[in-house]
Amino acid sequence: MTLQKGQILKYKETGGERKILEILLGDIYFLSATNDFEAYGSTYTKKDIEKYFEIPKEKWEPNDGEEYFFIGCCGDIGKSFWNESGFDKYIYKIGNYFKTKEEAQKATEKFKALLKSLHE
């Protein structure tokens, strides 16, 4: 989990938002007290943040030459190697890229279910 100054966090239970105003001593975070993100607030440890806030997933991006998988037009799983091509950039932009074949297969099942639900 990587947290950064300026990042917005959402409470798990209420959905209220807090902004990381400062990072103190490595794993102590000073968060805004209100949704207005004013310069006053409270301190939280990394453990507190994990307990009370939704932590956004870190977005994986393939390195040059790295293998990745995607969902093809017929629901098949495709494999490619990242090289900054127009195809790579488009796949990345729409979120249709996965680190493993298994991740792509799980996403394919969800995608197929979504498409079917649009016709019910």
- Report yes or no on 60 lying in a domain: no
Alpha helices in the chain (DSSP H): 46-52, 86-94, 101-117
Instruction: Identify which has the larger pLDDT, 41 or 87.
Output: 87
Q: Given a cut of 70, is residue 37 above it in pLDDT?
A: no
- My answer on whether 79 and 102 are in the same domain is yes
| Predicted local distance difference test score (pLDDT) of residue 85 | 95
For the stretch 101-113, pLDDT in tens is 999 999 999 999 9
- The mean of the pLDDT values for the chain is 89
- Report yes or no on 31 lying in a domain: yes
Rounded distance, CA 25 to CA 22, Å?
Answer: 10
How many domains are there within the chain?
2
Q: Around Cβ 20, how many Cβ atoms within 10 Å? A: 20
| Predicted local distance difference test score (pLDDT) of residue 40 | 73
Measured in residues, the chain has a length of 120
* Closest to 28 measured CA to CA, from 12, 56, 54, 5: 5
- Report yes or no on 61 lying in a domain: no
Q: What is the domain extent for residue 31?
A: 8-54
- Report yes or no on 86 lying in a domain: yes
- Report yes or no on 59 lying in a domain: no
| Predicted local distance difference test score (pLDDT) of residue 70 | 97
- Report yes or no on 97 lying in a domain: yes
pLDDT grade for 35, boundaries at 50, 70 and 90: low
Cα-Cα-Cα-Cα dihedral of 11, 12, 13, 18, to 10°?
Answer: 0
- My answer on whether 17 and 43 are in the same domain is yes
Q: Given a cut of 80, is residue 56 above it in pLDDT?
A: no
Over range 76-84, report the average pLDDT.
95
Helix (H) or strand (E) holding 67: strand 67-71
Q: Given a cut of 90, is residue 41 above it in pLDDT?
A: no
